Chain A
Amino acid sequence: MSENGKKTMAKQKSNKFWVFLILVAIGAATFIFGLNGRHPERAWQAYLINFLLWSAIAQGAVLFSAVMHMTKARWSGPLSGLSESFTAFFPISYILFLLLFLGKAHIFPWLHEDLHGKEVWLNIPFLFTRDCIGLLILYILGFGYLFNAMQLKLDPNQPKSKLRQSIYDAWKRNNRQPDQIRRRMTIWGGLYILAFALVLCLIGFDLIMSMDPHWISTLFGAYHFVKAFYMGLGALIILAAIIRLRQGEASRLNASHFHDIGKLYFAFCLLWADFFYVQLLVIYYGNIPEETHYVIIRTVLAPWNKLAWTVFIVCFIGPFFILLRQGVKTKPVLMLIICSVVIVGLWLEHLLLLAPALSHEATQAIPLSLSDGLISLGFLGLMAFAIGYFLKVFPETIRVKESN
């Protein structure tokens, strides 16, 4: 690429960073404005939904790389490298979780309720301790996997920045051979996969299911991590589509990559719907009032039934029929649109799960307004900033050889 070309691309990239930071500023401003308004719990509700959504996206996307490595898959090619870029969001996600502590009075409806013995599990110190430790373990395992995975991709003769130089020094100290590195990747990757399942189950139970503390569904944690992988794959497709559209042939992402990951995405659309249906069927057949009130409020009664049907159509029926055709999966623009719409749908799904418990007064209208959208834009800016920063510091991620 010519010097001029490099300069314009660098300027384009720094322009992008300003756009992301502006989005973050809009989101933060809306959030703080909401906090000082009449309904701070609405602002915290939006914060919680977005924290869960974007953290799950990052965790699920990184899972793709770990799974591809563990199964010795070769079809993913550059996609595995792209998915590792989502680890950049992990530190941001952790800080966002810690900030959740500030809103505990508005987020957790069970703070002053009689929990009939569940206080042993649902109390603020224990909840935050176990979730902090869980997320820390998950993110450390993710970074451990990344540390080893990067070693096989990066060119040590191009330090470019202090961060890279310190990583290179660590690699030189360890002085490992490629097959040793791959074995370590297998170990870290396997532990990450295990931690993903366990920690996301924990988060699902603690931060979503516990909002209605008298309702349980055993599969709820697993439902959350299946949803996380579904969202992570969607975000990976969006990122791959953006890279492909901007770089064309140089991205080394061709139609067969999109076709393959589109098929995997279709499979997880089915799996997510299946995990939802399995919980629904059991509750439907048991017809125990303790369990059914949660489902009835969200799927049968107004105003939530409209939202429930919207979520079902946007996140399952739509993608199912659209993604049946082979042609759709191979076109990056179409997949970008479809996956974005599905992520918006899953945002609404989080709203559907959380809002009836968090906003008791909302019996007429769904508590959804422009401020929720603006706060979400802020989180989108954070995610885009994290990934953009990662791809700037490690541009080799986009140019990866076929086999891992």
Chain B
Amino acid sequence: MPRERHIMGLFRDEDSVVSAINELKQSRYKFIRVNTPFPSHKIMDALKLKKSMVGWFTLCGGILGFIGGFGLAVYASTQWNLIVGGKPVIAWVPFVIVGFEATILCSVFGNVIGLLTQARLPSYRWLRYYDPRCSGEYFGVLAACEIEQEDGLKEFFQKQGADVKVFE
């Protein structure tokens, strides 16, 4: 059983969060995650995350939707081979509508699927280590340490100017 203690430091402003994250990464404690009540560019930059792959999901969805939409319209027309108002059976001008809408639809689907998979949602792993104040006016920085180092980590957060919450 992992003998780890999880401690969350609750900060009231982004800049102290950024400095806490930077120092935490250089310390011997394990930095896990940050909960923020609103999106923050500074914290995002400090986390130095890899570039997101969600855009590629959207692009693939869009391409598939484009081909699929036109394909559906072409397939449906060729099943009946009707000549409507003198137009060719496969008429690209009106098929653009189906293709366009399908492109948008499938790129949105791709975006949502990308978001869910890349963010690993729904995620219950960290629910245990969550403080409701993080949806209010506090930022929560979660770190883990050995049980023996618990006091050191608590002091670390208090030095940064944060409230401390210790999880079982």
Q: Is B97 in contact with A287, judged by CB distance below 8 angstroms?
A: no
Q: In the complex, A285→B96 CA distance in Å?
A: 13
Whether B121 sits at the interface, judged by CB under 8 Å, is no
Q: Is A284 in contact with B93, judged by CB distance below 8 angstroms?
A: yes
Q: Which chain B positions have C-beta within 8 A of A277?
A: 96
Whether B122 sits at the interface, judged by CB under 8 Å, is no
- Distance (whole angstroms) from the CB of B63 to the closest CB of chain A: 11
Chain B 89-104 against A: per-residue CB contact (8 Å), 1 yes, 0 no?
A: 0000110110000000
Whether A98 sits at the interface, judged by CB under 8 Å, is no
- Distance (whole angstroms) from the CB of A58 to the closest CB of chain B: 32
Q: In the complex, A285→B87 CA distance in Å?
A: 8
Q: Is B86 in contact with A285, judged by CB distance below 8 angstroms?
A: no
Chain A 249-269 against B: per-residue CB contact (8 Å), 1 yes, 0 no?
A: 000000000000000000000
Whether A102 sits at the interface, judged by CB under 8 Å, is no
Q: Which chain A positions have C-beta within 8 A of B86?
A: 287
A-B contact pairs, 5 of them (CB 8 A): A281-B94, A284-B93, A284-B94, A285-B85, A287-B87
Q: Which chain B positions have C-beta within 8 A of A216?
A: none
Whether A280 sits at the interface, judged by CB under 8 Å, is yes
Q: In the complex, A287→B96 CA distance in Å?
A: 18
Q: How many A-B residue pairs have CB under 8 A?
A: 16
- Distance (whole angstroms) from the CB of B158 to the closest CB of chain A: 36
Q: How large is the interface on B (under 10, 10 to 19, 20 to 34, 35 or more residues)?
A: under 10
A-side residues, CB < 8 A to B, are 277, 280-281, 284-285, 287, 324
- Distance (whole angstroms) from the CB of B113 to the closest CB of chain A: 19
B-side residues, CB < 8 A to A, are 59, 85-87, 93-94, 96-97
Q: In the complex, A324→B55 CA distance in Å?
A: 10
Q: Is B85 in contact with A281, judged by CB distance below 8 angstroms?
A: no
Q: Which chain A positions have C-beta within 8 A of B97?
A: 281
Summarize B's interface: helix, strand, loop or mixed.
Answer: helix
- Distance (whole angstroms) from the CB of B161 to the closest CB of chain A: 30
Q: Is A280 in contact with B93, judged by CB distance below 8 angstroms?
A: yes
Q: In the complex, A287→B85 CA distance in Å?
A: 8
Q: Which chain B positions have C-beta within 8 A of A280?
A: 93
Summarize A's interface: helix, strand, loop or mixed.
Answer: helix
Q: Which chain B positions have C-beta within 8 A of A281?
A: 93-94, 96-97
CB nearest to B41 among chain A residues: A256
Interface hub of B86, B87, B93, B97 (most chain A Cβ within 10 A)? B93
Q: Which chain B positions have C-beta within 8 A of A284?
A: 87, 93-94
Q: In the complex, A161→B49 CA distance in Å?
A: 53
CB nearest to B55 among chain A residues: A326
Q: Which chain A positions have C-beta within 8 A of B85?
A: 285, 287
Q: Which chain B positions have C-beta within 8 A of A285?
A: 85, 87, 94
Q: In the complex, A280→B91 CA distance in Å?
A: 13
- Distance (whole angstroms) from the CB of A320 to the closest CB of chain B: 11
Given contact pairs A280-B93, A281-B93, A287-B86, enumerate 4 new A-B contacts (beta carbons under 8 Å).
A281-B94, A281-B96, A281-B97, A285-B85
Q: Which chain B positions have C-beta within 8 A of A324?
A: 59
CB nearest to A286 among chain B residues: B85
Q: Which chain A positions have C-beta within 8 A of B59?
A: 324
Q: In the complex, A287→B87 CA distance in Å?
A: 9
- Distance (whole angstroms) from the CB of A199 to the closest CB of chain B: 31
Q: In the complex, A215→B9 CA distance in Å?
A: 71
Q: In the complex, A281→B94 CA distance in Å?
A: 7
- Distance (whole angstroms) from the CB of A194 to the closest CB of chain B: 30
Q: Which chain B positions have C-beta within 8 A of A287?
A: 85-87
Q: Which chain A positions have C-beta within 8 A of B96?
A: 277, 281
- Distance (whole angstroms) from the CB of A190 to the closest CB of chain B: 31
Q: In the complex, A376→B87 CA distance in Å?
A: 40
8 closest A-B pairs by beta carbon, nearest first, are A284-B93, A287-B85, A281-B93, A287-B86, A281-B94, A280-B93, A277-B96, A285-B94
CB nearest to B86 among chain A residues: A287
- Distance (whole angstroms) from the CB of B95 to the closest CB of chain A: 11
Q: In the complex, A287→B94 CA distance in Å?
A: 13
Q: In the complex, A281→B91 CA distance in Å?
A: 11
Q: In the complex, A277→B100 CA distance in Å?
A: 12
CB nearest to B97 among chain A residues: A281
CB nearest to B59 among chain A residues: A324
Q: In the complex, A281→B93 CA distance in Å?
A: 7
CB nearest to A283 among chain B residues: B93
Q: In the complex, A285→B91 CA distance in Å?
A: 10
Q: In the complex, A277→B59 CA distance in Å?
A: 23
CB nearest to B91 among chain A residues: A284
Q: In the complex, A324→B59 CA distance in Å?
A: 9
Q: In the complex, A224→B114 CA distance in Å?
A: 39
- Distance (whole angstroms) from the CB of B66 to the closest CB of chain A: 12
- Distance (whole angstroms) from the CB of B149 to the closest CB of chain A: 41
Q: In the complex, A324→B96 CA distance in Å?
A: 20
Q: In the complex, A377→B94 CA distance in Å?
A: 39
- Distance (whole angstroms) from the CB of B4 to the closest CB of chain A: 39
CB nearest to B85 among chain A residues: A287
Q: In the complex, A284→B84 CA distance in Å?
A: 12
Q: In the complex, A324→B107 CA distance in Å?
A: 13
Q: In the complex, A281→B85 CA distance in Å?
A: 14
Q: Which chain A positions have C-beta within 8 A of B94?
A: 281, 284-285
CB nearest to B62 among chain A residues: A324
Q: In the complex, A25→B87 CA distance in Å?
A: 51
- Distance (whole angstroms) from the CB of A296 to the closest CB of chain B: 13
